[in-house]
Amino acid sequence: MGSIHYCPPLWVLPWVVMAVGMCGWLWRVFRANKSAIIPVPPEKTDIDKLYTSIHPLTPFTWSETPPLKLRPFKPTYHLTMALQNTSISSLLVMDSTYLTRIQHRRALARTHGTEIMGHNPVARPAIHELYAWLFGVYIPQRYPSMFTLSPSGSSTTNLVTGESIPLSPLPSPAACLELMNAHIDTEFAILLPTSSPTSPVYDSKPPAEPEPYHLHSFLLATPSGFNTPLKLSLPLASIHAPVPGYSTRLQKSMDRFFATLPFGKIVQRANWSVQTDTDFFKLAGSHIASEEPGMAPAGYEASEEEERAWAEEAARVDPERCRLRCERQTLHRLPQTGALVFAIKTYMYPLREVLDEGLGGEMADAVEGLGKGSVPGMKVYKRGVVWGPKVSEYLRSGGGQVTSEAKSEPEATSG
């Protein structure tokens, strides 16, 4: 997976002073929100240091920093978590697209607010914790050239836009999500081990049989073909029900991993697909899911009618407009509420860029390998049956003219 590793500079005294001060301020804020979902472990003092000792990225000029190049495709597709360890300091990635993309996010909030942001009451403490940590600790420490904490600690200034972000008192949960959307080009999903949107506070011990993690808050301005509000309150299994083979290949390991992720640990992964247009905001049209109820099997048996429809769509695909769409995803646990935070940053690359890197053949192998691995139905789910033939031919021809008669391979039906 494409990734970037930062080499932090030596700490200097002002950062230490700020970190110590912010620890005290955050503790007072969090004490006001005692409705934690998971009890905090007794060794929390050491854990807090992991969340408050953020390595500053200096020198850093956002306007001169190119976006990450993610190329996570492999010749044969297998459904796995494919996780890598990373650091809390590497949670957010800023680049030269920052200003353009937050302007786009703000426009989406005005026209599609309820589709990109939502929460249940049970997520209120976790939203407040994430907001206070991001704006009060993480961002001003990690990106001091872009954000600075006020001397009083009551606000943080976005140096790119000149706007002030309130920290004390904390805004409402809905306002927190709006401000995160307006200043951070990353998506956030908050998951809690309860099915109730208004679950009561747990006692000093977690329940003997905790529930699977459910989605209780989302900020998602770059959906990749699904309507996030419809997934609010759902457990992981239901959220992933359309994914081929999820129930047999990933469900148990995902539930176990989410339930046992330690405090202070953060993992990352990347995924990829191809999109036939340039829109970041996609509520539909990126997947082909089985209409059968329940969890999708690993394979997909297409009808003749479906194959004809896919062929008609494939004839209209223009590889020059297609984009390699990748997501950098991270998962970590908040230290106070114990909530899990799934953070996502979306990237889109013209196929011409992949060719210029000399990776056309490698990506073509991956396109053709979508239906050859452990979940052959993935080629259908990702709509590879529509865009795959032309995209593969385009990549192998070095970007030359693609024939409209490109045919897809017969669909695998194992599962």
Whole-model pTM: value is 0.85
pLDDT exceeds 70 at position 8 = no
- Average per-residue pLDDT for the chain: 87
* 273-282 confidence digits (pLDDT tens): 999 999 999 9
Nearest to 374 by CA among 84, 82, 85: 82
CB 157 within 8 A of CB 164: yes
With H, G, I as helix, E, B as strand and everything else as coil, classify residue 60.
Answer: coil
Dihedral sign of CA atoms 198, 200, 201, 204 in order: negative
pLDDT exceeds 80 at position 231 = yes
Of 202-216, 220-234, 307-321, the range with the lowest mean pLDDT is 202-216
* 57-74 confidence digits (pLDDT tens): 999 999 999 999 999 999
Residue 364 confidence class, pLDDT cut points 50, 70, 90: very high
Residue 46 confidence class, pLDDT cut points 50, 70, 90: confident
CA distance 237 to 140: 36
CA distance 189 to 266: 15
Give the start-end residues of each E strand in 84-143: 84-86, 117-119
Report, as an integer, the average pLDDT of 237-263.
93
pLDDT of residue 39: 45
Strand partners, 119: 217
Report, as an integer, the average pLDDT of 74-101.
97
Helix axis angle for 384-396 and 304-315, nearest 10°, is 40
Residue 200 confidence class, pLDDT cut points 50, 70, 90: low
Of 16-20, 351-355, 390-394, the range with the lowest mean pLDDT is 16-20
pLDDT exceeds 60 at position 30 = no
Domain boundaries, the chain: 13-62+70-396
* 96-143 confidence digits (pLDDT tens): 999 999 999 999 999 999 999 999 999 999 999 999 999 999 999 999
Of 33-37, 180-184, 265-269, the range with the lowest mean pLDDT is 33-37
Residue 37 confidence class, pLDDT cut points 50, 70, 90: very low
CB 285 within 8 A of CB 402: no
* 317-327 confidence digits (pLDDT tens): 999 999 999 99
Backbone angles phi, psi at 94, to 5 degrees: -105, 150
Tokens of 121: 């009451």
CB 326 within 8 A of CB 353: no
Of 50-59, 68-77, 194-203, the range with the lowest mean pLDDT is 194-203
Of 14-23, 58-67, 84-93, the range with the lowest mean pLDDT is 14-23
AA identity, residue 291: E
pLDDT of residue 377: 95
Tokens of 168: 């004390």
Report, as an integer, the average pLDDT of 253-266.
94
Higher pLDDT: 41 or 248? It is: 248
Tokens of 370: 């979508």
Spell out the residues 6+ positions from residue 10 whose beta carbon is closer than 8 angstroms to its own.
Answer: none
Residues in the chain: 415
Residue 34 confidence class, pLDDT cut points 50, 70, 90: very low
pLDDT exceeds 80 at position 42 = no
Residue with tokens 């996780």: 83
pLDDT of residue 285: 74
CA distance 165 to 157: 6
